[in-house]
Amino acid sequence: MSGSKVSYRDRIYIVKDIIMKLSEYGELNQTALISFCGLNLKKHKSIFDDMESKNLISRIEKLVGKRAVKVYKLTVEGTEFCNSVLEPYEKMFPRKRLTKDWQ
């Protein structure tokens, strides 16, 4: 095994991170949201599509000059989902931190 440590984040925590960033900023363009959440668009696009199809977030395209920019916003349902499901889940099962005990 090489010396690098790759941390894995469960899907539920990725969803929560997306919701929390949108809650904090109101709306974010796709690039900013991906960056703030530490995600990769190619790898995690399905999560955004899934959240949008479940009406947790909404996506609109805004014209900025000649470019169409995708902007994400949190929906009321997304806020309710975070408060009723994600927050209690994280209290019950907190995120694991990497420790040196398992090396």
Does some domain include residue 2?
Answer: no
Domain span at 72: 11-95
Question: How many domains does the structure of the chain reveal?
Answer: 1
Mean pLDDT of 18-26: 95
Task: With beta carbons less than 8 A apart as the criterion, state whether 46 and 18 touch.
Answer: no
Does some domain include residue 103?
Answer: no
Q: For the chain, give the mean pLDDT.
A: 88
Condensed to tens digits (0 to 9), the pLDDT of residues 36-66 reads: 999 999 999 999 999 999 999 999 999 989 9
Does some domain include residue 91?
Answer: yes
Condensed to tens digits (0 to 9), the pLDDT of residues 64-100 reads: 899 999 999 999 999 999 999 988 988 998 887 645 5
Percent of the chain with pLDDT over 70: 86
CATH number, position 65? 1.10.10.10
pTM summary value:
0.81
Does some domain include residue 4?
Answer: no
Q: Which of 18, 13, 29, 11 is nearest to 78 (CA)?
A: 18
Q: Is the pLDDT of residue 25 over 80?
A: yes
Q: Is the pLDDT of residue 7 over 80?
A: no
Q: Residue 103: what pLDDT?
A: 43
Q: Residue 90: what pLDDT?
A: 87
Does some domain include residue 1?
Answer: no
